[in-house]
Structure 1
Amino acid sequence: MAVVFKWLLRAAGGMIVLALIVVVGLYLLLSRSLPDYDRTVTVEGLKAPVEIVRDNANVPHIFGQDDTDTFFGLGYAHAQDRLWQMTMLRRTVQGRLSEVFGTRTLNIDKVLRRYDLYGLARQSVEVQDAQTMAALNAYSAGINARLQEINDQALGRGAPEMFLFNAPFSPWQPADSIAIVKLLGAKLSPHLEEEVLYARSSLALQDETRLADLMPLAPGSGIAALPEYAALFPHSDLTQLAHAGTGVANPLSPFQHRAFAGASNAFAAAPARSASGGTLLANDPHLGFEAPGIWYLARLELQSGGVIGGTIPGVPAVLTGRSAELGWAITSSYMDDQDLHIEELNPENPEEYRTPDGFKPFGTARSIIKIKGADPVTLTRRWTENGPVLPGSHYNLAEVTPPGHVASLSWTILTPRDTTLSAAIALMHAKSVPEALDAGRFFIGPSQNLTLVDRDVIAMKTVGAMPRRAARHESQGRMPSRGWLPENRWQGISPYSANPEFVAPAGGLLGNTNNKMVDRPFPLHVSFAWGDTQRVHRWRKLMQDREVHTRDSFIEAQLDTVSFTARSLLPLIGADLWFTGESAPDGTPERLRQDALKLLAEWNGEMNEHLPEPLIYAAWLRALQDRLILDDLGPLAHEFTHPDPVFIERVYRDIDGAAVWCDVKQSSPVETCTDIARLALDDALVWISDNYGTALESLRWGDTHQATHDHPVLGEVPVLRYFVNIRQSTSGGDNTLLRGRTRGSGPEPFQNVHGAGYRGVYDFADPDSSVFIAATGQSGHFLSRHYDDLAQLWRRGEYIPMSLDPELARAAAVGVTVLQPATQ
């Protein structure tokens, strides 16, 4: 027995030693790709030395002798820190993920091949201006110089993920950067899904008029009655809905649920409304969380002066930030830049489709998709005069496509003449608001609201191509329309002057929270689906409560966690429940409900991570919407993942008879809205009790509202996920200015998955007092201390200096990289 025990000890010891050797070896292997920021490197493609000074937050300050050398330095820095992220962005837009990840990404590749965003980007290279082409070529050369260095010096393939996945990195080209800008459009344009869901809901509802409740317009607007969707195809069977449901989103897919379309906040103050006498600007663009985050902080020294702010790896531009004279901010405009068309096939020849001039053949092209571990797939792309033909699985298009028809998409970014990147480069060189507004005319998409300040003037302009629709369009772009009717086809692009514009407003304040900006009749309406009807009310109050503002008051507004929605809806839905009835015995559901109502009655609507009330409120609202719509929509109700405050308000104020939603159709009694509110609260408390216990006072919103900066590839790998995922308790919610959009579905519906990956506040009375922050860290290498070093600052609402002073950057810098030309 002793001998056996001795050998077992030896075996266990050997296994431990072997495991340690493997871990140490793996660390040494993966750590070779950690960049050395303090060195001199000889590279090809430079005219003069470039200095990359990394401040103590690892933000690169890039100093070149001219603009091309500076953009070369930015490309090199991006490749040092975010090579894997750039690989993934490029492979995604090219439709080449399956070469690395196999069949799990095949459907993503198929859709992106049909869009042909990369092919359109390659054609768009020819229409960039000379300044932009010089920047693109220099930036590409900088990336490729880093790749050459990695290959020559065996620097661990440039990123740890490169060891785990066979993802060869080919030389970067200008088209790659243009394509990534186009890819952002897939993340920021919700109208395709909005149209499909509108049509599906039209088919599901017995009372068509109730669509105005379920998918309401932003308050303050009106629209003429639309036809029932089924009426557009009277001879087709559109009544058998599959109700596929949202399912689990692939973290590698750019096609997210409409609830996660781009959002953001931006606001500005003129000198008359600023305590310092200078203009103020704040911006926090919102995108889905991931690790590393999409934003990369950088400063560029251009011939026109320094610029600093947020860049996206793969794109040679500061997309939100400032120079010494100008600040610019972006928010999603929600311009309706997509239209779905139902195309009728020729019954005699399915390779033809109906047009106003008769049947015509589809445009076709074959595309081969290579798949890791499987045979290649040959995809036949088809397109019509309206745009590419999409598969029925994309956003459940099959449910609204009659037999003998296919769906095609018109989309502004599906153009071979995309000058958006030229606009972004020109914006960095602009010295004033008028110059910046002029640069905006070259934006194509994704459309944005561009908020601008110089030292004297504030302005906001919607930039991006706005489709020109016929006034007789049968669906006005709210749901798919018949593609062969001339009135349903786009009539071109509206002139830039038709885009909404606000310059030097009399009140001295401007802002956008993705809210409705203009109330214009169709077809100049801009959009029927806006991103916010709630946050703007809180923003307006915070702005109007002060006669003058400061940098700090703008920071307070950016970090504000008070929910206007909670303050307005809770008194409405709980009107007949507060403090009613006798005190119930401890331990009963009635007592739990009374305790919950008591907590909510004394709550000010602050979505603070340390409080229990936000969780009770959020769970109640979620259960309430489910109770209201499930019996009317059936499985389709699961597509409505987030409570719509306007819908709930319409129901509880009985606007246009909307209180009918409270009656459960399948039951004999007629339920009142008070009944449904009580039942929904009980549902919420049961869910909370099952997951967090019945001690309501000890609940903590931040425990369930955790920001999930997860690695999109390694984030689900056992053990490794603890190193690559960044999870943090956070305040805020769906409708607060400090927006933390919840997941909305699954076992953890209140996880914070979408919000401000970048925050910046700029004061032009003292520009170097401006501040900014990113949500994770500058490095994409999970072994780097800069992978998550900004995350805790971001969570606590702290910022780092946003200065153009080179000496401040050099103070306590983590390293200085000098790129030396190979020949001088």
Structure 2
Amino acid sequence: MPNLFRWLLRIFTAVVVLAGLGLGGAYYLAARSLPEYSGTHEVEGLSAPVEIVRDHTSVPHIFGKTDEDVFFGLGYAHAQDRLWQMTVLRRTVQGRLSELFGARTLKIDELMRRLDLYGLAQKSVAAQDPQTRAALEAYSRGVNAWIQTVNTEARGRGAPEFFLFRPEVAYWQPADSIALVKLMGVRLSSHLDAEVLRARVSLLLEPGRVMDLLPDAPGPGLAALPDYAELAPGVVPSSAPIARYAEGPLSPFLGADLAGASNAWAAAPKRSAAGGTLLANDPHLGFSAPSIWYLARLELSTGGVIGGTIPGIPTILSGRSAKLGWGLTTSYLDDQDVFLEQLNPDNPEEYRTPDGFRPFETRRSIIKVADAEPVTITLRWTENGPVLPGTHYDLASITPPGHVASLGWTLLNGADTSMSAAMRVMRSQNVDEAIEAGRFFVAPSLNLTLVDEDNIALQMIGAMPRRSAANQSQGRLPQPGWKEENRWQGWLNYAANPSFKDPEGGILGNTNNKLVDRPFPLHVSFDWGDTQRIQRWKRLMETRKVHTRESFIEAQLDTVSFTARSLLPLVGKDLWFTGEPAPAGSPERRRQRALELLAGWNGEMNEHLPEPLIYAAWMRFLQRDLIEDDLGPLAREFSHVEPLFIERVFRDIDGASVWCDIRQSAAQETCTEIARKSLDEALLYLSETYGGSLESLRWGQAHQAWHDHPVLGETPLLKWIVNIRQPTSGGDNTLNRGLTKGTDPFPFANVHGAGYRGVYDFADPDSSVFIISTGQSGHPLSRHYDDLGELWRRGEYIPMSLDPDLARAAAVGITDLVPKAE
């Protein structure tokens, strides 16, 4: 027995030692890839030395003799901090994720190959102006110089993830940067999803009820849609949920609910307390660890610029120079159309056009899959765009027999000069120059908010499809692609893009709200990203005669929900303080207490309060109860509360209160009964999920920001290292927007919001501030992986100064790049 014990002890000790050695070895290898910010490196591709000064938060300030050398330095810094992220983004748009991750990303790759965005990016390199091509080439040399540094100095493959997947890291090329701009367009797109959903709903409901559930933004709009059954005869109505095709944390195909939302507002000198223009911008994208955003300063021949970049794209996308500030929001331009292409009954390799049947443009593409056989797919294009199989976007459910669906999209352009436009905006010296630069932007369409020392402006940039006034569905539903009136007729002139400059009131802003009220086909869009947050913004702007940097920050961080303030009195109008007092512990008493709390609540979606969680759960169950009996499982597609729908129902606009009656029951339910029932369901859900009293609930407990690593975020043990979770205020309809996940088991998780915030004050430009939601580094062992995240959560910022002495004063390191001796 003693011998057995000794042997067991020896085995246990050996296991512990081996485990310790393994963990130590893993840590050593991972730590080798931690970038060192102080040092001198000889690199190829420079004309003169470059200095990269990392300030106290690791924001690189890049100085060089020529602009090309500065872009070289940006490429080096991007790769130094985010090489893995850049590699994954490039593989995504190339349709080559499965080479690393196997079959789980095969559907993403297949859809990307069908869109051929990378091929179009390669063609677009030649369309750039000479200055932009030179910048792209210099940036690529900078990225590749870091890759060479990793190899020659044994820097741990550049990122710890490379030890797990061990891909060959291809050198960066100019087309890669253009392709990433197109990838951002994919993440911001929504109209394809909206067309499919509207078609599915149209087949199940009468037209008036479709307009209840999918209403136009307030203001004159389309009164009725064509009958989709007539546009697509033979389609069988179905209430099955939409079958998503390319899903997962690596998928850029997010769906209409997560397509994009942002804020930007500007004040003219006469509305500024200090007499200088003001600009605030916070673009919204899906959260990740690290953030998609990266802060940087470039010292160009036209002057210094500083702001938010996306690793892989060599421009300041939102930021300022000494003379100009610019910010971005999603325009929601209807830049996508689904076309139903009729196949030739005698030859399925041909499709119908206005001039008869024509053959598809066809080629084959091979997708390599890790640990599996390669997959070969056939790509087909029509004159309207690429053909998407019925499995994509659930197109089979709305495509009649003998037809296929193709996609028209402004992003599918092989002469895309958007990169050149972004470069020109960054170099512009005033508002007028920046507006002119926007003429060359193709896709994705954006609203560009601008300020210089004296002027403010908002300009929509991006190509607007030219549609015929006789278009059958006005771009809102899939439609026959062989009919001339449905086809695009090129693009509208840039002058047709909405533009506003120096308004009389001295304030401009956009929260993805409806910009213009113009008749089709100059309408821009029927689907907008916001009808609610804009109301709160107007209130905040109008309550002050003049604004300051601090008031713009206050608005950017505002968490009061106009939606909650408007819906609660409407939905609960017959429930407040009614009925006899109920005994403690009963469901009736819990409902009464919930109504008491909500009655005294001001609509602030504060992380420390219980009321936001009670409200959010109530509205979620209310909408489900209103639509589930009509739509069946398709109701799951409405995973976020639609405020205009609930308002129409409870105001009984055009008979919309009929939604309150449950079809399957003999009794005729009232809206008050449905409101009471849904509140009881919400309270039961909260009790089962969180327990405790209503007063002990906290919105931040449910509304945590999920900054998850898109590859390792679901891996046991590692997820505790690479994911960043934080309780947050805000909600779906607040200016400080934290869009909820919407689906079980964590419907209120905060997954989409302002990963970048900037406020630019031209009365004192160096007092401008910015922040990102994680940290500059993509390395989980770096102290700069999440050091800005807590500041971001608390609503704090860091200085946005172009003063080189301030950058050097507390620098965490200075990297000197010198040309390699011949």
Query: Could you tell me the TM-score, scaled by structure 1's length?
Result: 0.99
Name the counterpart of 1:160: 160
Name the counterpart of 2:225: 226
Give how far 1:35 is off. Answer: 0.8
1:265 aligns with 2:263: yes
Q: Choose which of 750, 753, 762 in structure 2 pairs with 1:752.
A: 750
Residue identity opposite 1:798 in structure 2: E
Name the counterpart of 2:479: 481
Give how far 1:474 is off. Answer: 0.4
Alpha-carbon distance between aligned partners in 2 of 1:18 and 1:804, rounded to the nearest angstrom: 51
Name the counterpart of 2:721: 723
Q: Choose which of 392, 395, 398 in structure 2 pairs with 1:394.
A: 392
Larger deviation, residues 343-352 vs 151-160:
151-160
Question: Could you report, residue by residue, the CA deviation over 1:92-126 in whole angstroms, capped at 9, with x for unpaired residues?
Answer: 00000111111111111111101000000000001
Residue identity opposite 1:67 in structure 2: D
> The residue matched to 2:315 in structure 1 has which SS?
coil
Task: Answer yes or no: is the 8 Å Cα contact 2:239–2:632 preserved in 1.
Answer: no
> The residue matched to 1:440 in structure 2 has which SS?
helix
Name the counterpart of 2:379: 381
Alpha-carbon distance between aligned partners in 1 of 2:318 and 2:594, rounded to the nearest angstrom: 43
Residue identity opposite 2:680 in structure 1: D
Give how far 1:247 is off. Answer: 8.9
1:499 aligns with 2:492: no
Residue identity opposite 1:520 in structure 2: R
Alpha-carbon distance between aligned partners in 2 of 1:708 and 1:472, rounded to the nearest angstrom: 45
Task: Answer yes or no: is the 8 Å Cα contact 1:111–1:391 preserved in 2.
Answer: no
Name the counterpart of 2:701: 703
1:121 to 1:246, Cα distance in 2 relative to 1, 3 A: closer
Alpha-carbon distance between aligned partners in 1 of 2:495 and 2:821, rounded to the nearest angstrom: 49
Alpha-carbon distance between aligned partners in 2 of 1:245 and 1:408, rounded to the nearest angstrom: 18
Give how far 1:249 is off. Answer: 3.6
Task: Answer yes or no: is the 8 Å Cα contact 2:294–2:309 preserved in 1.
Answer: yes
Name the counterpart of 2:314: 316
Name the counterpart of 1:47: 47
Alpha-carbon distance between aligned partners in 2 of 1:6 and 1:170, rounded to the nearest angstrom: 53
Name the counterpart of 2:185: 185
Give how far 1:10 is off. Answer: 2.8
Q: Residues 334-483 of structure 1 correspond to what in structure 2 (within 5 A)?
A: 334-483=332-481
Name the counterpart of 1:771: 769
> The residue matched to 1:514 in structure 2 has which SS?
coil
Name the counterpart of 1:656: 654
Give how far 1:14 is off. Answer: 2.2
Structure 1 residues without counterparts, runs of 5 or longer: none
Q: Choose which of 807, 810, 813 in structure 2 pairs with 1:812.
A: 810
Task: Answer yes or no: is the 8 Å Cα contact 2:245–2:393 preserved in 1.
Answer: no
Residue identity opposite 1:639 in structure 2: E
Alpha-carbon distance between aligned partners in 1 of 2:167 and 2:547, rounded to the nearest angstrom: 50
Q: Residues 97-108 of structure 1 correspond to what in structure 2 (within 5 A)?
A: 97-108=97-108
1:713 aligns with 2:691: no
Alpha-carbon distance between aligned partners in 2 of 1:534 and 1:428, rounded to the nearest angstrom: 31
Name the counterpart of 2:176: 176
Give how far 1:394 is off. Answer: 1.6
> The residue matched to 2:265 in structure 1 has which SS?
strand
Residue identity opposite 1:17 in structure 2: V
Give how far 1:752 is off. Answer: 0.2
> The residue matched to 1:375 in structure 2 has which SS?
coil
Name the counterpart of 2:21: 21
Residue identity opposite 1:298 in structure 2: A
Give how far 1:525 is off. Answer: 0.3
Alpha-carbon distance between aligned partners in 1 of 2:472 and 2:401, rounded to the nearest angstrom: 21
Give how far 1:246 is off. Answer: 5.2
Q: Choose which of 662, 677, 680 in structure 2 pairs with 1:679.
A: 677
Name the counterpart of 2:526: 528
Alpha-carbon distance between aligned partners in 2 of 1:200 and 1:88, rounded to the nearest angstrom: 34
Question: Could you report, residue by residue, the CA deviation over 1:523-545 in whole angstroms, capped at 9, with x for unpaired residues?
Answer: 00000000000000000000000
Give how far 1:240 is off. Answer: 4.5
Give how far 1:166 is off. Answer: 2.8
Name the counterpart of 2:562: 564
Give how far 1:584 is off. Answer: 0.5
> The residue matched to 2:449 in structure 1 has which SS?
strand
Question: Could you report, residue by residue, the CA deviation over 1:266-319 in whole angstroms, capped at 9, with x for unpaired residues?
Answer: 000000000010000000000000000000000000000000000000000000
Alpha-carbon distance between aligned partners in 1 of 2:563 and 2:240, rounded to the nearest angstrom: 34
Alpha-carbon distance between aligned partners in 2 of 1:584 and 1:245, rounded to the nearest angstrom: 45
Name the counterpart of 1:142: 142
> The residue matched to 1:318 in structure 2 has which SS?
strand
Q: CA RMSD in A?
A: 1.0
Alpha-carbon distance between aligned partners in 1 of 2:390 and 2:232, rounded to the nearest angstrom: 17
1:137 to 1:467, Cα distance in 2 relative to 1, 3 A: same
Query: Could you tell me the TM-score, scaled by structure 2's length?
Result: 0.99
> The residue matched to 1:113 in structure 2 has which SS?
helix
Question: Could you report, residue by residue, the CA deviation over 1:154-179 in whole angstroms, capped at 9, with x for unpaired residues?
Answer: 21111111010132111110000000
Task: Answer yes or no: is the 8 Å Cα contact 2:120–2:412 preserved in 1.
Answer: yes
Task: Answer yes or no: is the 8 Å Cα contact 2:71–2:138 preserved in 1.
Answer: yes
Question: Could you report, residue by residue, the CA deviation over 1:461-493 in whole angstroms, capped at 9, with x for unpaired residues?
Answer: 000000010001000011101101000000110
Alpha-carbon distance between aligned partners in 2 of 1:16 and 1:764, rounded to the nearest angstrom: 61
Alpha-carbon distance between aligned partners in 2 of 1:524 and 1:223, rounded to the nearest angstrom: 13
Q: Residues 614-693 of structure 1 correspond to what in structure 2 (within 5 A)?
A: 614-693=612-691
Larger deviation, residues 567-576 vs 8-17:
8-17
Residue identity opposite 2:471 in structure 1: H
Alpha-carbon distance between aligned partners in 1 of 2:141 and 2:681, rounded to the nearest angstrom: 59
Question: Could you report, residue by residue, the CA deviation over 1:702-751 in whole angstroms, capped at 9, with x for unpaired residues?
Answer: 00100000000000000110000000000000000000000000201000
> The residue matched to 1:371 in structure 2 has which SS?
coil
Alpha-carbon distance between aligned partners in 1 of 2:354 and 2:601, rounded to the nearest angstrom: 60
Task: Answer yes or no: is the 8 Å Cα contact 1:245–1:636 preserved in 2.
Answer: no
Alpha-carbon distance between aligned partners in 1 of 2:235 and 2:534, rounded to the nearest angstrom: 42
Residue identity opposite 2:93 in structure 1: V
Task: Answer yes or no: is the 8 Å Cα contact 2:278–2:549 preserved in 1.
Answer: yes
Residue identity opposite 2:811 in structure 1: A
Question: Could you report, residue by residue, the CA deviation over 1:648-705 in whole angstroms, capped at 9, with x for unpaired residues?
Answer: 0000000111000000001001000001000110110111011011400000000010
Alpha-carbon distance between aligned partners in 1 of 2:242 and 2:807, rounded to the nearest angstrom: 53
Alpha-carbon distance between aligned partners in 2 of 1:494 and 1:630, rounded to the nearest angstrom: 41
Alpha-carbon distance between aligned partners in 2 of 1:350 and 1:564, rounded to the nearest angstrom: 53
Question: Could you report, residue by residue, the CA deviation over 1:108-161 in whole angstroms, capped at 9, with x for unpaired residues?
Answer: 111110100000000000110011001000000000111111111221111111
Larger deviation, residues 148-157 vs 620-629:
148-157
Alignment length, in residue pairs? 822
Give how far 1:243 is off. Answer: 3.0
Residue identity opposite 1:228 in structure 2: D
Give how far 1:403 is off. Answer: 1.2
Alpha-carbon distance between aligned partners in 2 of 1:366 and 1:253, rounded to the nearest angstrom: 23
Question: Could you report, residue by residue, the CA deviation over 1:238-272 in whole angstroms, capped at 9, with x for unpaired residues?
Answer: 23554345599401100002110111000000000
Name the counterpart of 1:209: 208
Question: Could you report, residue by residue, the CA deviation over 1:5-36 in whole angstroms, capped at 9, with x for unpaired residues?
Answer: 33333322222222111111111111111111
Alpha-carbon distance between aligned partners in 1 of 2:346 and 2:395, rounded to the nearest angstrom: 24
Alpha-carbon distance between aligned partners in 1 of 2:2 and 2:604, rounded to the nearest angstrom: 65
Task: Answer yes or no: is the 8 Å Cα contact 2:245–2:391 preserved in 1.
Answer: no
Among the aligned pairs, what percent are the same residue?
69
Question: Could you report, residue by residue, the CA deviation over 1:537-585 in whole angstroms, capped at 9, with x for unpaired residues?
Answer: 0000000000000000000000000000000000000000000001111
1:247 to 1:137, Cα distance in 2 relative to 1, 3 A: closer
> The residue matched to 1:804 in structure 2 has which SS?
coil
Question: Could you report, residue by residue, the CA deviation over 1:365-409 in whole angstroms, capped at 9, with x for unpaired residues?
Answer: 111111111111111100100000012122211100111110000
Alpha-carbon distance between aligned partners in 2 of 1:311 and 1:170, rounded to the nearest angstrom: 22
Q: Residues 568-647 of structure 1 correspond to what in structure 2 (within 5 A)?
A: 568-647=566-645
Alpha-carbon distance between aligned partners in 1 of 2:384 and 2:587, rounded to the nearest angstrom: 57
Alpha-carbon distance between aligned partners in 1 of 2:340 and 2:440, rounded to the nearest angstrom: 31
> The residue matched to 2:313 in structure 1 has which SS?
coil
> The residue matched to 2:147 in structure 1 has which SS?
helix
Give how far 1:204 is off. Answer: 1.7
Alpha-carbon distance between aligned partners in 2 of 1:486 and 1:69, rounded to the nearest angstrom: 50
